[in-house]
């Protein structure tokens, strides 16, 4: 259902009175499975949803667009409720077409929250903002490529360009994108997750000489002790809970330093185990 909002009204959902309930006893489980399936079916349709969910984080298949957490090649679907929600939004049948851009000004779109913007659907044509314009305007793919080429050719050297993409871009598309940037002549490719990882990338580079974490996926399997500090995996990296579950079964101890009693760290019902 599409709700028509007057141009003068901020594009924000009404704020309902918050409710307070008892803390959850566990995280994930059957509820995560049914919610993921329901959202994906609603967005993409039953047939497409089945194909998408069965290939999510599988070989052959495609990587989860929700995070970059590694996964065992033997993992069984469903293996990422968050990934399924991201897929549902990316494969939605809703379209934000030229009429949408004509109806909503840039000022209105800036006032909208991310949830509302995501629910309007995918762009179906390239958009451009001309100087002094108050709206995005549709252009053809040929004109879009020509404008990009003109901009790239106008710089004195390739390093004057920066190639940035959204963290929601698929890993496969991002791989092709970085190949294009390097073929163009630069490696100015900011981490697509730098909005949340820029502080760590700066601090780690000063401390250990590299802007990425030194911990690898295998360390979880080899360590006798895993310490989770300053991170809420149940909320921010739920796929990490599967790895911690595997470490615990192999006898590793897990110490979580967290002032909030997070359900996922106390009782985690693995969706894949629930279906096996």
Q: Which of 31-40, 72-81, 153-162, 224-233 has the highest mean pLDDT?
A: 153-162
- DSSP annotation string for 46-71: HHHHHHHHHHBT-SSSB--SS-----
Of 189, 241, 195, whose CA–CA distance to 69 is shortest? 241
> Which tokens is 40 given?
């994906």
The answer to whether the beta carbons of residues 33 and 27 sit under 8 Å apart is: no
17 versus 101: the higher-pLDDT residue is 101
Q: Is 135 exposed, middle or buried (0-12, 13-18, 19+ CB in 10 A)?
A: middle
Residue 109: CB atoms within 10 A of its CB come to: 16
> 116 or 52, which is more confident?
116
pLDDT at 6 over 50: no
Highest averaged pLDDT of the listed ranges 8-12, 133-137, 192-196: 133-137
C-alpha to C-alpha distance for 21 and 25, rounded to whole angstroms: 12
* Percent of the residues in the chain that have a pLDDT greater than 90, as a whole number: 17
More confident of the two residues 98 and 241: 98
Q: What is the mean pLDDT of residues 162-183?
A: 82
Rounded CA-CA distance 67/80 in Å is 10
* 3-class secondary structure, 117: helix
How confident is the model over 223-247, as a mean pLDDT?
78
Give pTM, 2 decimals.
0.56
pLDDT for position 37: 73
Residue with tokens 């939605």: 92
pLDDT: is 269 or 187 the higher one? 187
3-state secondary structure of 25: coil
């Amino acid at each position: 259902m599409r709700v028509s909002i007057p141009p003068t009204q901020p594009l924000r959902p009404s704020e309902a009175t918050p409710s307070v309930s008892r803390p959850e006893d566990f995280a994930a489980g059957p509820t995560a499975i049914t919610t993921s399936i329901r959202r994906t079916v609603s967005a993409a349709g039953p047939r497409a949803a089945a194909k998408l969910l069965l290939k999510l984080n599988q070989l052959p298949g495609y990587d989860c667009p929700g995070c970059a957490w590694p996964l065992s090649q033997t993992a069984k679907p469903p293996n990422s409720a968050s990934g399924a929600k991201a897929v549902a939004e990316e494969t939605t049948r809703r379209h934000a077409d030229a009429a949408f851009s004509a109806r909503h000004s840039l000022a209105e779109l800036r006032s909208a929250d991310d949830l509302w913007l995501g629910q309007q659907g995918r762009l179906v044509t390239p958009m451009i903002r001309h100087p002094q314009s108050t709206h995005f305007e549709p252009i053809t793919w040929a004109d879009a490529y020509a404008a990009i080429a003109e901009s790239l050719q106008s710089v004195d050297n390739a390093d004057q360009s920066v190639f940035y993409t959204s963290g929601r871009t698929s890993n496969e598309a991002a791989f092709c994108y970085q190949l294009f940037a390097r073929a163009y002549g630069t490696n100015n490719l900011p981490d697509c997750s730098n909005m949340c990882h820029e502080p760590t990338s700066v601090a780690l580079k000063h401390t250990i000489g590299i802007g990425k974490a030194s911990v690898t996926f295998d360390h979880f399997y080899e360590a006798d002790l895993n310490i989770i500090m300053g991170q809420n995996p149940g909320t921010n990296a739920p796929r990490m809970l599967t790895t911690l579950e595997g470490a615990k079964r192999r006898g590793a101890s897990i110490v979580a330093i967290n002032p909030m009693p997070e359900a996922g760290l106390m009782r985690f019902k693995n969706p894949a185990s629930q279906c096996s």
